[in-house]
Amino acid sequence: MTQAHPTSGPVADPDCPVSLDLLGEVYRADAYDLPGILEAIPATTRAKLAIYLYGKSHMHQLGLTVARACSREDLVRVAGEIGSVVHGQSQLKAPKAATPAPAAAPQPKKISLGGSAAKGRSFD
């Protein structure tokens, strides 16, 4: 069984609260255009969309982005306690990308002129 892309195929998921065209528009929008698109969606529908996207593993982050454009009250009205959780998660700051630590200068190798430490020992 293959899983279809959310915007592919002739029929939208019946659980999706928006049209296939609008879902595709949200999915493809960049950070600059997305707020304007979301603002045009009614508050309750926007909250339903946030919960819908949040529940899809491959669109989880997009769901949190949409949830940032929703009020806590709308999310709770649409999804109960889950809406509250989604709202809380959407308000958390995104973790910073790991920056590679600068390479430390290699430590010089210690050179011993005395030979092996075992020399001169008695192992009786």
Residue closest to 46 by CA, chosen among 8, 82, 77, 80: 77
pLDDT of residue 108: 73
Reported pTM: 0.67
Contact partners, residue 37, CB within 8 Å, separation at least 6:
22, 25, 26, 29
Q: How many C-beta neighbours within 10 Å does residue 95 have?
A: 6
What token pair was written down for 96? Answer: 């910073």
pLDDT, tens digit, for every residue of 9-52?
556 688 899 998 999 999 999 989 999 999 999 999 999 999 99
48-87 pLDDT, tens digit per residue, is 999 999 999 899 999 999 999 999 999 999 999 999 999 9
Measured distance CA(63)–CA(4) in Å, rounded: 18
Cβ neighbours of residue 96 closer than 8 Å, sequence gap 6 or more = none
More confident residue, 5 or 96: 96
Domain boundaries, the chain: 20-91
Q: Within 10 Å of residue 118's Cβ, how many Cβ atoms?
A: 7
pLDDT reported for residue 1: 43
